[in-house]
Structure 1
Amino acid sequence: MEEMEKSRIGQFEVRTDLALEERESFEGDGGEVSGVSLKEWDRKQTGVKLTEVRILNEQGAKAMGKPMGTYLTLEADRLSKKDDEYHSEISDELGTQLKKLMDQMLKGQERETLSVLVVGLGNPSVTPDSLGPRVLNNLQVTRHLTGEYGEDFLKKRDLPAISGITPGVMAQTGMETAEILKGIIHQTRPQMLIVIDALAARSVRRLGTTIQLTDTGIHPGSGVGNHRHSLTKDSLGIPVLAIGVPTVVGAAAIVHDTVSALINALSQSESTKATGKWVGDMDSEEQYELIRELLEPEFGPLYVTPPDIDETVKQLSFTISEGIHRAVF
């Protein structure tokens, strides 16, 4: 998993990779975050909601717990459904947004043929973590055509030089992902990286229905507490555009989201009304602390994924690969 940065309330930490969810955590404090801008708009035809969170300075980065940069989120409830026509529409929207972000990241770079290395992070043997490798399985690569048909083959046909790699996870390779990519970048010299990874969300409703794009790169493995070498422009020397979809949510976050339902249920009975009032009178920090004390001794840092995650990842892998194709071809 990618970042799974921590949204802190008291001593309890709720993991989320989505800048949108991190930004939403401030809504109870008035909604404004110094150094962070927010823009939202809807695509009525497709039912897609787009949210752009831009972290403008170090103050905003500190408040959000994320690097400065642009975080664009596409939300569509129907993404979790099997609907090829609708997923094609999402691919169009994704391709449009990818193209805009790529143009910004490559501004000032001149090269006759666009050269992009696409990286599918994750473990293909673990379904919630297999999104990256599955996208690579659907990717149309072209870089090898120059070796087969000559250096000017792609240029004459106005095609990009697309290459791809699934570096696996450290338990399989014994190497950091950053170490592998540095060697590949040194040999193939792409203009930029597009990295696909599975994320963690705070809300169940965003599992498989949200796609996040960011120009800040990513930090592989930190989602499950394994802080790996980051994949960023600073560490790799070229721009890194990250595409992520949340496929897991922390069990404690689910419990916290159901506390209000629990309070209502307890309030319905005279025998439990006092308990419901006691929990309801707690502030958010106290509720989190109670949940932590109840869950952690029994389950530890448990993560949950939907029962249909295999089908969801399969569909999204095609949607994302097609979005990349429409952005670069």
Structure 2
Amino acid sequence: MNEKTKNVSPLIRTDLAYDDYEFYQNQGISDFENSKYQVFDIPIFKSIVGKKASETIGKKEGTYYTVDLTELNIHDSKTIENVEKALASVLKDCLEENKLLGKKAFVVGLGNENVTPDAIGPYVIDNTIVTRHLAINNTLSEGFSNVSAMSPGVMGTTGIETYDVISTMSDKIGADFVIIVDALATNSIKRINKTIQITDTGIKPGSGVGNKRKEISYDTINKPVIAIGIPTVVDATTITVDTIQMVLKYLNLAMNNGTSKANNITMEPVKEDLTNSHPSNDTNVAFFGNFGNLSETEQRTLVEEVLTPQGYNLMVTPKEIDMEVEDLSKIIANSLNIALHPGLFNGYTS
């Protein structure tokens, strides 16, 4: 590790405000308000980022909601129903806070439908109920909003900047606000396909994977932009350091808990509760030498410093991505339909 490494903050490769909260929570950042509550037994984390916090964490000022699915089975029908209702409730709150309920919505699904981890947006559009054509003909029923939707593809296949498509189309169709759905990146392996973020700050497509496109927000298109996203990829640095941290906690159990399954290292999968395992610095050094003496932040910086120049800081997605993207996109689409068309489900979220 070179001399500069210890003084350089690691690249926090994430689109999630909750990742930033976990990283900075002990650093006393002002005007970064965070609260946790539950809706239909689904954990919701609300973050309000002020000006000073925005400068520190690199996120726009505004409100971020995190729907936490880390402990849930998103393939269980009852759980899916609760997640849909909870997400719809959060969406309604976000729309109400921005005075957008009942106004003309333009839903845009970003991403490449031919690349599964990036296909969340287009898949959501396939299941979104559109009604603008009915509103134009004055046949829109009570309880339904004026909703239009599209998936503009990606610049690599269209040659057109996503921002240009959205700004032009939203003006052309007279939309009052835009809802953008996109795949995100995270710096925590536990959040892959297990977190849904909703924010009123808009989005910078591709920022989490270092492929920045022009920002789409009120500041750039002069319309409110609600962004919904799910992290589907994580980089090799995160996988490496998270794994090392878990191994240290696991070995710490073996040293301090005689009944721990970690005492019998076998080829059989064993799941231990590592939440309350806090290895000391001496333990870290005993197992990993000088590397163990580094803080987690310094470990991330060092691993990235090694992997990136070699071209090995790859973006990785789970092998179950096909099924999970399909299920999660339906959850988001159904939640959007509930939030935008209250007459469709007659108080489904109440």
Residues 32-71 of structure 1: pairs in structure 2 closer than 5 A = 32-43=28-39, 46=41, 48-56=42-50, 58-71=51-64
1:168 Cα deviation from its structure 2 partner:
0.5
Aligned positions, number: 306
Match of 2:241?
256
Q: CA RMSD in A?
A: 2.5
Return the letter of the residue paired with 2:117: P
Matched, 1:209 2:202: no
Structural mapping, 1:153-302, within 5 Å: 153-154=139-140, 157-262=142-247, 276-302=288-314
CA apart distance, 1:227: 1.7
- The Cα of 1:98 is off from its aligned counterpart by 0.5
- Is residue 89–residue 339 contact of structure 2 (8 Å, CA) maintained in 1? yes
Match of 2:12, SS? strand
Amino acid at match of 1:27: Q
Q: How far apart are 1:285 and its partner, in Å?
A: 4.3
For 1:59 and 1:117, locate their aligned partners in 2 and report how far apart those are by CA, in whole Å: 31
> How much has 1:211 moved relative to structure 2?
0.5
Question: Judging changes above 3 Å, is the alpha-carbon distance between structure 1 residues 326 and 170 closer, same or farther for their aligned structure 2 residues?
Answer: same
Question: Which whole-Å CA distance do the structure 1 matches of 2:59 and 2:76 have between them?
Answer: 34
Q: Structure with the greater relative contact order (CA < 8 A, sep ≥ 6): 1 or 2?
A: 1
Task: Measure how far apart 1:299 and its partner are.
Answer: 3.7
Bigger share in strand: 1
Q: 1:237 to 1:176 in 2, by over 3 A?
A: same
Counterpart AA for 2:244: V
* Residue 26 to residue 325, structure 1, CA distance change in 2 (3 Å): same
Deviations 1:210-233 (A, max 9, x none): 110000000112233222111101
Worse-superposed segment, 10-19 or 118-127: 10-19
Q: Is the 8 A contact 1:263 1:277 kept in 2?
A: no
Deviations 1:261-293 (A, max 9, x none): 45576998xxx9756242222233432343124
* Cα displacement (A) at 1:79: 5.0
Given the alignment of the two structures, is residue 10 of structure 1 paired with residue 8 of structure 2, yes or no? yes
Identity %: 34
Using the size of structure 1 for normalisation, the TM-score is 0.86
CA–CA distance in structure 2, aligned partners of residues 162 and 296 of structure 1: 43
- What is the CA distance between 1:82 and its match in structure 2? 1.5
TM-score (ref. length: structure 2): 0.81
Q: Structure 2 counterpart of 1:286, which letter? A: E
Which residue pairs with 1:141 in the alignment? 130
Structure 2: stretches of 5+ with no match in the other structure: 1-5, 256-283, 342-350
Report the alpha carbon displacement of residue 106 of structure 1 after superposing the two structures with TM: 2.2
Q: 1:114 to 1:290 in 2, by over 3 A?
A: closer
